[in-house]
Amino acid sequence: MAGDDVKKSDANASGGVKRKEVKKETGLGLTNCKDDNFGEWYSEVVVNGELIEYYDISGCYILRPWAMSIWETMQKFFDVEIKKMNIQNCYFPLFVSPGVLQKEKDHVEGFAPEVAWVTKTGDSDLEVPIAIRPTSETVMYPYYSKWIRGHRDLPLKLNQWCNVVRWEFSNPTPFIRSREFLWQEGHTAFATKEEADAEVLDILELYRQIYEEYLAVPVVKGKKSELEKFAGGLYTTSVEAFISNNGRGIQGATSHCLGQNFAKMFEINFENEKGQKGMVWQNSWAYSTRTIGVMVMVHGDDKGLVLPPKVATVQVIIIPVPYKDADTRGIFDACASAVDILSGAGIRAKADFRDNYSPGWKYSHWEMKGVPLRIEIGPKDLANSQVRVVRRDNSLKIDISRTNLVEHVKEMLNNIQHNLFDVAKQKRDACVKTIRTWDEFVEALSQKKLILAPWCDEEEVEKGVKARTKGEMGAAKSLCSPFDQPELPEGTKCFASGKPAKKWTYWGRSY
């Protein structure tokens, strides 16, 4: 890539061809500040950072290569890990027959408002409308019933990378709430509950790794309440993130134990080693392109995106800074050499040799796109056999020798990855408020806190919390009960009901 750019620019670098006039571009910056108008800032940064483009159907978005590259990095990691667990990839159709969709009552009721239907072909009405999958339990499980007969057919562990459609009518938001999105969905069947329980947590740990080790976003692992669990499932676990700027929790990914409910509905039975009939235990689990939106919300700033190095399409952008009468060819050659050296070491590096933009414009452009490191090479750098390196996360500038370029760059990228996580965790932790009474809860909610409260774990009490906190900002709800439970002293009362508390649970407003 760099070689092609060099060839295009060589003619301009030599004195033989008249240089193009440098464009005086304006308007690169964002018009909204993250702290002042978070929603407008987010809508602006995902477009200006070239992650998405708005489509002519509301709630649908074009994912541009900058976003798809991030998705593919996560996909590559996750796909390798689930294959280590003997989970195989497959693909099931997009369309669902009404009879199959409606077979599991609780499940279909949970998704009914979001289901899109195909009702016509050409000018003719279909005799039977066909649903577009909002999720694939009812698509896949009739065939699990066909494929599973005996204990030797278990476990059956499948995953598919696909799109789903959920016709959101309220506040579509790129990556966060869209009518069509990409995800993976795993669907597994086991002979025993113990096997299913173990896999639920194994998958949840992979989701934690995606968020914390790739996206540098801190999350809490925990269990959803009965009210918030997956429709038709036995229990739901999740990783929960928190957006400190607007005080909202966000469900990052979910890993569900479905129990035997779907097995009963779809007659997924097997014969065990003793010749006895039994029903399988099932799980389903998924993460989606929502991950990208969470990353943007947590790390982005008023200059644009801030990408963690592990998922950045371009980890290092190299910009030549040729002043008047400078050795332009020497500078361009040094930039091209740096790209080759870094790329040879496995670092995703690129040089921006465009001659119709000024270096300053390029700085702003690549800051908007969130590239973790910028390398500048000018006449002084060329003379001193050095480069200037600028970090995107904290704007730190440092001059380093070209001799040890790879070692320095690798160390800086590693430091950026860790720093982004540390800063995000500090911000998240500063928003956590432990409360014990309703009045403290209401005050913490008004301060946009992530609230940790003792709870009696009763569904009606949670419904009451939602009803009592309804307003323009949206009602509060339980986010998850963390697996890492603080000590609950004997006699502790539920913050909402005054009944004996059974656990600590995170509460707040959420997406």
Instruction: Determine the pLDDT at residue 105.
Output: 66
What is the pLDDT of the chain when averaged over all its residues? 93
Q: At CA 128, angle to CA 123 and CA 130, rounded to 5?
A: 85
Domain boundaries, the chain: 38-299, 316-428, 435-509
Instruction: Determine the pLDDT at residue 325.
Output: 78
State yes or no: pLDDT of 362 exceeds 60: yes
Instruction: Determine the pLDDT at residue 505.
Output: 98
Instruction: Determine the pLDDT at residue 102.
Output: 81
Residue 277 in tokens: 């009939």
State yes or no: pLDDT of 501 exceeds 80: yes
Instruction: Determine the pLDDT at residue 269.
Output: 97
The answer to whether residues 420 and 215 touch, using CB atoms and an 8 Å cutoff, is no
Closest-CA residue to 90 (of 140, 151, 153): 140
Instruction: Determine the pLDDT at residue 26.
Output: 40
Least confident stretch, 143-152, 161-170, 300-309, 388-397: 161-170
The answer to whether residues 389 and 412 touch, using CB atoms and an 8 Å cutoff, is yes
Instruction: Determine the pLDDT at residue 406.
Output: 98
Residue 85 CB: number of other CB atoms within 10 A? 15
State yes or no: pLDDT of 435 exceeds 60: yes
Confidence of residue 2 (pLDDT cuts 50, 70, 90): very low
The answer to whether residues 217 and 241 touch, using CB atoms and an 8 Å cutoff, is yes
State yes or no: pLDDT of 22 exceeds 60: no
Residue 314 CA to residue 366 CA, distance in Å, equals 10
What is 38-299's CATH number?
3.30.930.10
Instruction: Determine the pLDDT at residue 396.
Output: 97
Strands of the sheet with 349-351, listed across from one edge: 349-351, 316-320, 373-377, 386-391, 397-401
What pLDDT, in 10s, does the model give residues 188-236? 999 999 999 999 999 999 999 999 999 999 999 999 999 999 988 999 9
Residue 24 corresponds to which amino acid? Answer: K
State yes or no: pLDDT of 45 exceeds 80: yes
Q: At a CB cut-off of 8 Å and minimum separation 6, what does 254 contact?
A: 224, 230, 236, 237, 238, 285, 286, 287
End-to-end alpha carbon distance in the chain:
40
The answer to whether residues 437 and 495 touch, using CB atoms and an 8 Å cutoff, is yes
Closest-CA residue to 450 (of 378, 507, 383, 381): 507
State yes or no: pLDDT of 370 exceeds 90: yes
Average pLDDT over residues 483-502: 98
Render 228-241 in DSSP notation, one character per residue.
Answer: TSPTT-SEEEEEEE
Residue 461 in tokens: 């009490």
State yes or no: pLDDT of 104 exceeds 80: no
CATH ID of 435-509, from 3.40.228.10, 3.40.1010.20, 3.30.110.30, 3.40.630.40: 3.30.110.30
What pLDDT, in 10s, does the model give residues 46-80? 999 999 999 999 999 999 999 999 999 999 999 99
Topology of the domain covering 316-428: Rossmann fold (3.40.50)
Average pLDDT over residues 110-134: 91
